[in-house]
Structure 1
Amino acid sequence: MNEETPKNRRLTEEGVREDLQRQPHLMMKLAENALTVAESLRDNYFKNTAKFVTALRKAIDAGDQGQRDEPLLSVHKIKDAEWATVQNEVVTFIDGGIGQVQIASQVPILLRVGSYCVRTGERRLTEREKFGYYPVILGDLEGGSKERKDFTDIVRITAELLGGLSALERTPDLHILMFHGPLVYLMGNYAGHTPFTERDIDLFLGQYAPDPDLGRQLKEDFLQKAKLDIYPEMTDRS
């Protein structure tokens, strides 16, 4: 009879459940996530999560034992790496979020996109790190279907893309631009929203365009494309 070792136990569902239960912050997150799925899935949400983690652990372990053609995760050593090779490399990270205020209930009122720019190897702090903060008051927007739950997502995605554009324009020597979020947004899920108005476009560009001339050019290019391509498709007319 094989004696169960701690390593073997962590590859079982029971071991995974015990590990999760010993970490209250993970249990809280699982409980929150369970409320976002269909009601029919909630009862088994914790059990299914444990099954997934178990399968993941087994796959990683099989890779470590050489039992998989391609390991799920692998660790590589970077030889002869020196900071000098990335000296003065500029990296910017973009992330957006929703601000909330609790009056009678939690109501989103503010969206902000932040940018964090770093120049590697720079010793002067004022030159090494730069922060950008771009707020949008949701109530100032005229367009969009505000009654829909994904309204704030539409605004955030738009603002994050404009924040990235702003970073590219403001930092000519930018080497890496990173966004927080999925690699690909399934935009079909957001179909049916009321279009943003021209005033909304001005509001967005006023916050994110590096200079007024670029903002006006972006707006003119968009309106031209909308007139030729977007609006005809929305109305089934060519």
Structure 2
Amino acid sequence: MTTGPDPDLAEQQRTHWQHTYTDHPRMYGHAPSSPAVHAAAVFADAGAQDVLELGAGHGRDALHFSRAGFRVTATDVSQSGLAQLQQDAEAQQLTGRLATMAHDVRDSLPLASASVDGVFAHMLLCMALSTTQITALVAEVARVLRPGGTFVYTVRHTGDAHYGAGTSHGDDIFEHGGFAVHFFSRELVERLARGWELDEVHAFEEGDLPRRLWRITQRRPR
């Protein structure tokens, strides 16, 4: 049986991210991530209008989606990160089409079924979530997506240099430098895509280590 992380790890990580965003405002800068640029193009090609971002942090990608013309709902567990996003949205006059919502993805998504056209999550699924929690989250993403809607997400994978390093919490979760990461196997990606149309699993690198990630694009069948 697959074991999950210690229940206390979730609260520890919540506190860690709250302090991180408070102590390092806008730590990822203002430019959108490359996966967000890709996702915006995919969403636009599909005629999307309503986009949900999970784990938006301080909002560099949510702001990019909003500037691209989408109606955006941005969620994160960190109130500090969302406060920075709200400030930047006001400064850029984007509040009319960008809403923020504090939310822990271990809980059901606070959106109606079939209410959005696209969902984006950059390195959110590979946080300190058990395989069971990730599976439940992907089911929730399918619920809130309209038929034909697109889910673009990124995760660090088992080919990453930090896989197996640091403190093991079970279930391919390793804590290194205070950050706990669930490293994805290709088998897990394939399992999460069951019942979806899997368009792409794109390998890329990010950061100075570099971190090794997959960008997954999958669609809910019509």
Task: Pick the TM interval, shorter chain.
Answer: under 0.3
Question: Which structure shows the higher strand fraction?
Answer: 2
Question: TM-score, normalization: structure 2?
Answer: 0.26
Question: Which protein, 1 or 2, shows the higher relative CO under an 8 Å CA cutoff with sep ≥ 6?
Answer: 2
Question: Normalized per residue, which structure has more helix?
Answer: 1
TM value normalised by structure 1:
0.24
